Structure formats: C-alpha cells, structure tokens
Amino acid sequence: MEIKNRWFPYEKSIVINALYDTIEAIGLSLDSSNSVRGTLIVSDAQHTGSMRVALDAAGDTNRTQVHIYSHGVGKNIINVWGDVILDELSGTIERARHSDKNKTIQEGDIS
C-alpha cells in the first residue's frame, strides 16, 4: 500500500480546516470525516477510488503530520492526487497565513 505524508508546522485544527478548503478547491469529494480523530475519506469526482487522509499531531501541538492512504476498492488515486493534496494544502495554509497577516496590519493601521 502506498502512503504519502508530510509534516506541517501548525496545530491539527489549522491543518484540518485548511484540508477541508483544499479538498473543495481541487474538486475532490469529501465522503466522510471525523474532525475529532482527524480522519477524512476523500474520492475523486467520478468516485472511481478513494483515499483516507489522517492527521497526527503525535503529542506535539505545534506540528501535524498528514498521511494519505488507499481506501477501499477501486483505482488507486493516491498516485494521481496524493502529492496534489499535500502541495495544495501547503498553499492553502500559506495563503491563509498571509491573509491573516495583512488583516492584522490593516486593523493596526485603523487604530
């Protein structure tokens, strides 16, 4: 079974929220989720295959590891979507981070 994974230097709640946005933005389908456990089942638009995405903070609240596994039967879509999800997730988090910085700067200018 192929597994894709990457560490992100953010707490689990930030990563999972960005993951929801990422999945929607790239046109994948969220089949089920458990936010408390940090697991999502995602499939491609045609539902020809699915992936399990699991978040693991491993006791460290300042960083989260994202694992992507094959799930169920059907086409192994990890080869197509695994790296795309991880790369887009990085971009989603960075865009949100820069947006928050700009918002904070603008609010500081108003005061």
3-state secondary structure 79-94: HHHHHHHHHHHHHHHH
Most distant CA pair in the chain: distance in Å? 56
With a cut of 50, say whether residue 111 has pLDDT above it.
no
Q: What is the torsion angle, in degrees rounded to the nearest 10, for the CA atoms of residue 22, residue 20, residue 92 and residue 28?
A: 0
Question: pLDDT tier at 59 (50, 70, 90 boundaries)?
Answer: confident
* Per-residue confidence (pLDDT) for residue 97, from 0 to 100: 79
As a whole number, mean pLDDT of residues 72-94 equals 89
Quote the CA–CA distance of 7 and 55 in Å, as a whole number: 10
More confident of the two residues 42 and 72: 42
